[in-house]
Amino acid sequence: MPRPTGWVEITRDDVLREQMSDVKLKSGRRCIVVAGTLNDPYTGKTIHFAKADASAVQIDHIAPLAYVWRLGANTWTQAQRNAYANDTATVLLAVDGPANEAKGDSGPSQWMPANKAFACTYATKFTAVLVKYQLPVPLADKAALTRAFATC
């Protein structure tokens, strides 16, 4: 499914700087991340990020843009969509690229992280997003979140 129009996203470098360790910046440019280490929450792997293989680490919207669009974000103003798309405190997470691609625009009933130790945290983060943005929880996703909370 194509991404809904009208979203403006924060630069990935901002999120990478915040969420990776051993960050190396481009010489003379304090804002461009060229390398770093990510302890990937979705897979449990340690990823040694290099700009040459940028797709290895992607920035995930914990509740995907198309998912929240279907839950009611389609009625939001442009400012509300921008706030959601750029919310580094609640919505954005640096993760393993292939895991993020596998997730796509799925909710918890269709996709959960392979790293079972992260299931509780993922469910907590996903729920926090829906609460903060006053979005409903579909029944199938509520059941999947409840199962994940049982691992806490």
Encoded tokens for 35 = 């390398």
Structural domain spans, the chain = 12-149
Q: Tens digits of per-residue pLDDT, 74-97? A: 999 999 999 999 999 999 999 999
Q: Tens digits of per-residue pLDDT, 26-63? A: 887 668 899 999 999 999 999 999 999 999 999 999 99
Question: Residue 21: is it exposed, middle or buried by C-beta count within 10 angstroms (0-12/13-18/19+)?
Answer: exposed
Q: What global pTM score does this model have?
A: 0.89
Angle at 109 between CA 107 and CA 114, to 5 degrees: 85
